[in-house]
Structure 1
Amino acid sequence: MSDVGILILDDDERWLALHERRLIRAGFSCYSTQNATEAIKIAKTNPSVKFALIDEILYVPPIPVAEEQRELQRWQGKGVIREISAQRSDIKIIVVTAAPMSRSDGNSQLLIKETAKLRRQQGVIDIIHKSQIDEDPDDSYDWLIDLLKRPDFSDKASVTTPKVLIGLGFTQEIHQAMAEQMNIPRKPYLPIAPLLKKVGNKSKTLDEIWNKAEEKSILLEMPGSKKLDPILGIKERSNAFKILAFLAKKSELQHEVIICEQDYDCSRRKSKMYVDNIPENNRLSVQDFAFAHNTDGRRHLRYGVQLEGVTSKNSPLKVAISRLREQLSRFNVGRADKLLPYEPEHKGYQPGFELGIVLYSTKKEKAKK
């Protein structure tokens, strides 16, 4: 029996028994309860508890079948997590929930955002949906046990700082060959760092691997997690992808991770023409066409007219960074103003999150019967 204790909080007795049976079989000591107040007490007083499985929505047991007859407990999952994290920063929490799936109602983008909100809580290292356990209990509990047995990371590290990764997709055969070359077991996602350590010219090798990839995507990993979720909306040809790719490459090559004006080759957006037959060559005619006067006699630019060199003082990189911040903040990577701050000393932008590159197989293997 392991000396690592697992706190389990769920209002449903069936889920408590299911979690207990699997985790005890894996060698963990379990402390289970249906009561949120008791769970907080266990976490505060039992030093052997290092992990907690906590349900998000907690009703007073026994739970009536009719939803309108159910009564919520005083402490809900988020409150329990907040209370435990304030007292025991060493406890790593996994939220086991059915709520995001229910709230998203089949909308995959909404499901990812709802899941991301739960992950952003202090102390939470990952989320597991009850529907996933129902569909494939063996795989779900294997993942969970693998996560619980993972070597501990520093308690000083912020568990709310995620990692943004560039995923490079290859065929199963190439993916398998890379795993063998790195002398590590094949997993769904392989880190590229061990492969780069084996070569002399890391930069050239990274470019070769990059160019041979069949797919390229942006993935999000929370610290302590074994899962990678896609960040939707950032396409390979976008300026946001180019910025993240540049920074990820520098991170893997162990260079200073910063992007400056001279590093950025942008794809400018096409602007629409709002007016036709703009007079040419005659500067005064252009001014008469572009400007009008209001009732006070003040000159103003006509609606729909843009003058080159006057409309924006922002650099292309600054504009792209601002858009990227907003995209990442929508996926709860962090506050937009903290994600890519400007460093005056280097005259560039440094990420406030971790970056890296992973390799994955483009075709999923068929599930074993």
Structure 2
Amino acid sequence: MTDFSVLLLDDEPTWLALHESRLKQARLVCHPTQDAKEAIKIAKTNPSLKFALIDEILYVTPIPVVEEQREMQRWQGSGVIREIVAQRSDIQIIVVTAAAVSRSKGDNQLFRRETAKLRRQKGVIDIIHKSDIQEDPEGSYKWLIDLLKKPALSIKADVVTPKVMIGLGYTKEVHKAMAEQMGIARKQFLPIAPLLEKGGQRILDEFWQKATEKSVLLEMPGSKKLDRLHGIKPESSAFNILAFLAQKTEKQIQVIIREQDYHFSRRQSRKQTSELPEYEPLAVQDYTFGYDTDGRRGLRSGVQIEGKLSQNSPLKVAIHRLSRQLSEFNLGPASQLFSYELENGGYHPNFELGIVLYAVVD
């Protein structure tokens, strides 16, 4: 038996029994329930709990056969997740869903969006579709059990963070040729490392220029699925910073960005409608400084000298904004995503980066 337990929440008794049976076969201790309120209570009071398998849509049990007669529980999956995370940030959550498939109605792009939305909830380390379990129960539960039993997940209390990937998109023909060049099976996403090993680091610049499109992707730790972050556009400073760091990662050199590495365009300031009058320097000096009764020269009462304003560096401001963006995608607390290295005078990411190649969908 393991030294941790797993919370199981599903309103359908058949699914709940199936989850429990499979996990118990793997010698995992389970706490099954059909009630959202009870699930929250178990999570708050059971210190051995380290994982939770939570259904997205929850109906009041027993669930009527007629859909119109069904009543939703007060707490839905997302609400349960928020309540648990607020009290127990150490609990890592896998969302179980059938709704993403039904809502997308065969639209692959909508399906990916719905899936990504679920995966980005705070505390969620990955999701699993009920349709996948039905099609391949052995493979699905093996993936799930391996995820739960990973030492890094079961021993550490911190939620595993995703990996940020820069995606370089090419036509299907080019994508196929690259797979053949690397001597690997053609997949939706291809690693760039084999190309760098064959052609050297300079080849990265060539592939960067030839890409039809560029994007930022988020890789989840369990399934290694990739979600596109539509909020970070290729022309933005956020993308430029991530792309610069990702290239350093793939080239296996020091992953750090310094002030001189950051190229940006200053915002144009609004033109002043009136010009400041010119002053006689000696007259200003005589007005500013005077002599006291003892004959000592000093600053006149009520006069202040405007000192030089301290301004944040452009890179520091950009890193701050990028950190806030990434924290919204559940990458981690904004304050912990980058570290400033005083010795090297630059910012180092506290998360993994990389580059993948993919075929552009027509």
- Residues 186-195 or 314-323, more deviating: 186-195
CA distance in 2: counterparts of 1:260 and 1:101, whole angstroms: 44
Structure 1 residue identity aligned to 2:329: F
1:218 corresponds to which residue? 216
The letter of the residue matching 2:315 is L
CA-to-partner distance for each residue in 1:241-277, whole Å, 9 max, x for gaps?
111111101111111111111221222223333x324
**TM-aligned CA distance change 1:32 to 1:328, over 3 Å:** closer
For 1:347 and 1:153, locate their aligned partners in 2 and report how far apart those are by CA, in whole Å: 36
Is the 1:159–1:223 Cα contact (8 Å) retained in structure 2?
A: no
Residues 51 and 148 in structure 1, CA contact (< 8 A), matched pair in contact too: no
Residue number among 227, 230, 236 corresponding to 1:229 in the alignment: 227
SS of the equivalent of 2:185 reads coil
Alignment of 1:162-241 (within 5 A): 162-199=162-199, 201=200, 203-241=201-239
* 8 A Cα contact 1:57 1:77, kept in partner: no
Aligned twin of 2:247:
249
8 Å Cα contact 1:239/1:267 also seen in 2: no
Q: How does 1:1-369 map to 2 (within 5 A)?
A: 9-13=9-13, 15=15, 35=34, 53-56=53-56, 58=58, 61-64=61-64, 66=69, 70=73, 76=80, 94-97=94-97, 115-118=118-121, 120-121=122-123, 124-128=124-128, 133=131, 144=140, 147-148=143-144, 154-155=151-152, 159-199=159-199, 201=200, 203-273=201-271, 275-278=272-275, 283-284=278-279, 313-363=311-361
Corresponding residue of 1:292: none
CA RMSD, 1 decimal:
5.0
| CA shift in 2, pair 1:13/1:218, >3 Å | same
Asked if the contact 1:235/1:241 (under 8 Å) is kept, the reply is yes
SS in 2 for 1:353: coil
CA distance 1:257–1:143, change in 2 (3 Å):
farther
* Alignment check: 8 A CA contact 1:55 1:77 kept: no
SS of residue paired to 1:350: strand
Deviates more, 1:168-177 or 1:12-21: 12-21
Change in 2 beyond 3 A, CA 1:78/1:311: closer
3-state SS of 2:179 partner: helix
Using the TM superposition, give the Cα deviation of residue 94 of structure 1 relative to its aligned residue in structure 2, in angstroms: 2.7
State the secondary structure of the residue aligned to 1:96.
Answer: strand
Gaps of 5+ in 2: 1-5, 104-109, 281-300
Contact 1:167 1:359 (C-alpha < 8 Å) held by counterparts: yes
CA distance in 2, matches of 1:188, 1:179: 10
CA contact (8 A) 2:59 2:71 kept: no
Residues 57 and 76 in structure 1, CA contact (< 8 A), matched pair in contact too: no
**Cα distance change on mapping 1:183 and 1:145 into 2, 3 Å:** farther
Query: Structure 1, residues 268-288: CA drift from partner, whole Å, max 9, x if none?
Result: 223333x32435xx6439xxx
Larger Rg: 2
| Cα offset, 1:345, TM superposition | 1.9
C-alpha deviation, 1:59, in angstroms: 5.1
Instruction: Indicate the residue corresponding to 2:283 in structure 1.
Output: none
Which residue number in structure 2 is paired with residue 305 of structure 1?
none
The answer to whether the 8 A contact 1:179-1:190 is kept is yes
Give 1:189 shift: 1.2
Q: CA deviation at 1:196?
A: 1.6
C-alpha contact (below 8 Å) 1:56/1:78 kept by paired residues: no
Deviations 1:319-362 (A, max 9, x none): 11111111111222111111112111221111111111011110
User: Following TM superposition, by how much is the alpha carbon of 1:143 offset from its aligned partner in structure 2, in angstroms?
Assistant: 8.6
Once residues 357 and 237 of structure 2 are traced to their aligned partners in structure 1, the CA distance between those partners, rounded to angstroms, is 22
Equivalent residue, structure 2, for 1:290: none
Shift of 1:109: 12
Per-residue deviation, 1:145: 6.2
CA distance in 1, matches of 2:338, 2:86: 28
Aligned partner letter, 1:360: Y
Q: How far 1:318 moved relative to its partner?
A: 1.0
Q: How many residues align?
A: 314
TM-score when scaled to structure 2? Answer: 0.66
What CA deviation, in whole Å up to 9, does each residue of 1:207-253 have, x standing for no partner? 11111111100111121233211222211111111111111011111
Identity of aligned residues (%): 50
SS at match of 1:314: coil
State the TM-score, normalized to the length of structure 1.
0.65
